[in-house]
Amino acid sequence: MKRGGVKKEVDQVSRFLLVGCLIFIVDGLVLFTLINAFSLPPLVSRIVSCSVALMAAFYLHARFTFLVSPSRGTLFRYLVSQSLSAGLNFSVYAVWLVYGYSYQAPLIGLTIGSISATIFNYFVNKYFVYR
């Protein structure tokens, strides 16, 4: 990779992570609002907040991170990739609980799962979803 290519990649990864942080905030705000302002049950609120966050992430990654126009095909590939990513995240977490420190340190499993899913998401988004 040329020097300019490295800078482009670093810029893209930075935008990817920035969108991820923003989406985390959006997800939390929607969740908090639905529970506290609308008195919806936490699980129902989580389904709605996660859906809002996924759609916002799809659009922001298309326009800001990968600089493409969103389409139905892109949305389908995105939803497939997010399903795989959730499975990876949960699987890594479960493996940690079983083979790591059992139930004494679930936050470590959560962290390892989240990092694994983030890396997976970046490359799948770059080479499959927003190609």
- pLDDT tens profile 99-111: 876 566 788 888 8
pTM greater than the 0.85 cutoff: yes
**Do 57 and 15 contact (CB within 8 A), yes or no?**
no
How far apart are alpha carbons 64 and 52 in whole angstroms? 17
CA atoms within 13 A on the CB side of 126: 13
Helices 3-36 and 42-60, packing angle to 10 deg: 150
The first and second tokens of residue 85, run together, are 């990513």
- pLDDT tens profile 30-67: 999 999 999 999 999 999 999 999 999 999 999 999 99
Between residues 3 and 35, which one has the greater pLDDT? 35
